Amino acid sequence: MENTQQPIISIKNLRKNYGEKQILKGINLDVYPGQVIGYIGPNGAGKSTTVKILTGLISDFEGDVFMYDKNIKDDIISIKSQIGYVPENAEIYDVLTPLEYLDFIGKLYGMEEDAIAARATKLLTAFGIGANADQRMDTFSKGMRQKVLLISGIIHNPKIIILDEPLSGLDANAVIMVKELISLMAKEGKTIFYCSHMMDVVEKVSDRILLINNGEIVANGTFEELKAGGNQSLEKIFAKLTGKEEGNRDAADVLSALN
């Protein structure tokens, strides 16, 4: 289906090398407002590099990335203020309390102290860790840290949200809540860029799925479109397109090694 809207993110011939190694080999992509993009691929395929470029963490790349029609090389600061990012490796200043941490993050986005405090308290309560708002995070479980990380990615109410394995460490209830939250935010017109290895979740939350392998996009479409080839699950599609269809044979090899 052809989208008549203006793309909110437009990637043109994106390339990135690390020394001799080509990580991204010319990616082209348009993302529209209100879409949830599931971005999947095997380890080392180039997912994280793409995300780092979109969030301004990597600036030496070839090609162009436009957000709101602005080239991110021209004005990364104003673009960053419209993005929310939840990184895969849950780095956090854990000697701070959630409120202190969120106050810091909110201020970097230029929010007022009172507004940050009010929103942070509501969000912490909604995520079920309101009672821990004034405890230092070095005693927190992985799930609790992940919740704070998620809140820090949305506290400034961004229009584009980039989530890298956002469900890592969350309990079942929190997973349901975050999945629901993603759908609701998309309905509000926010654009979500969702990276994950959890195929079942990607399958459920994404409007459109992009599969990257060896630095190239090898599949781009809705789940329905992707499974037109006869595959019933995203896992199967993933295995087929990344050349690991023989997954069963690999497992058999492992088993035979034990005998």
Partner 1 sequence: MFNRYIINFVLLFKPIFKKFGVNPEQLRIILTIKMKMDDRRPNIYNQQRQKKKKEVNHASWLVMFFLGITGLFFAFLLASLKQPFLAHTVYFSAFMVMLAVTLISDFTNVLIDVRDNYIILPRPVSDTTFTVSRILHIGIHTAKMAFAISISGIIYSFIGEGIISGLVFIIEVLIATTLSIFFVNITYLIVLKITSPQRFKDFISYFQIFLSILIFAAYYTLPRLIESSILKGIDLTQARILTIVPSYWLAALHELVVNIKNTPFTTYIYAFLAIISPLVSLYLVVKVLAPGFNQKLSSISASGDDGIIISSEGKGASKGFMNSIAKKIAPHPLENAGFKITWLLSSRYRDFKVKVYPSFAYVPVYFVYFGFINKKGVSLSENWNNLLEGRMYILLMYLTSFVLTTVLQNISMTEKYKASWIFFTTPHNEPGRILAGMFKAIVIKYYLPCFIAIGAFSIFFWGPAVINDLILVFMVGTLYGLLVALFQVKGFPFSQPPNNQKGGKMFITFLIMAVPAALGFLHYWAAKWEIAIWIAAAIMTVITWVSFNYYRKESWENMELAD
Residue numbers at the binding site for partner 1 (CB under 8 A)? 55-57, 77-78, 80-81, 83, 85, 87, 89, 91-93, 95-96, 100, 104-105, 107-110, 136
Q: Which is nearer to partner 1, 106 or 240 (CB)?
A: 106
Q: Which is nearer to partner 1, 88 or 207 (CB)?
A: 88
Q: Which is nearer to partner 1, 149 or 211 (CB)?
A: 149
CB of residue 93 to partner 1, shortest distance in Å: 6
CB of residue 165 to partner 1, shortest distance in Å: 13
In sequence order, what are the beta bridge partners of 160?
83, 191
Q: Which is nearer to partner 1, 148 or 237 (CB)?
A: 148
Q: Which is nearer to partner 1, 79 or 199 (CB)?
A: 79
Q: Which is nearer to partner 1, 133 or 211 (CB)?
A: 133
62-67 vs 36-40, strand pairing mode? unpaired
The answer to whether 178 and 128 are in contact (CB under 8 A) is: no
Q: Which is nearer to partner 1, 41 or 87 (CB)?
A: 87
CB of residue 57 to partner 1, shortest distance in Å: 6
Rounded to an integer, what distance in angstroms lies between the CA atom of residue 32 and that of residue 4? 9
| DSSP string covering 72-110 | TTT-HHHHHTTEEEE-SS----TTS-HHHHHHHHHHHTT
CB of residue 104 to partner 1, shortest distance in Å: 5
* Cα separations in angstroms, 28 against 24, 31, 77, 166: 11, 10, 23, 25
The answer to whether 38 and 196 are in contact (CB under 8 A) is: yes
- What Rg, from alpha-carbon coordinates, does the chain have? 19
Give the tokens for residue 61: 């790349």
H helices, E strands: number in the chain = 10, 10
CB of residue 245 to partner 1, shortest distance in Å: 32
CB of residue 87 to partner 1, shortest distance in Å: 5
In sequence order, what are the beta bridge partners of 221?
209
Give the tokens for residue 30: 């348009």
CB of residue 38 to partner 1, shortest distance in Å: 21
Task: Give me the residue label for tokens 């229009």.
Answer: 159
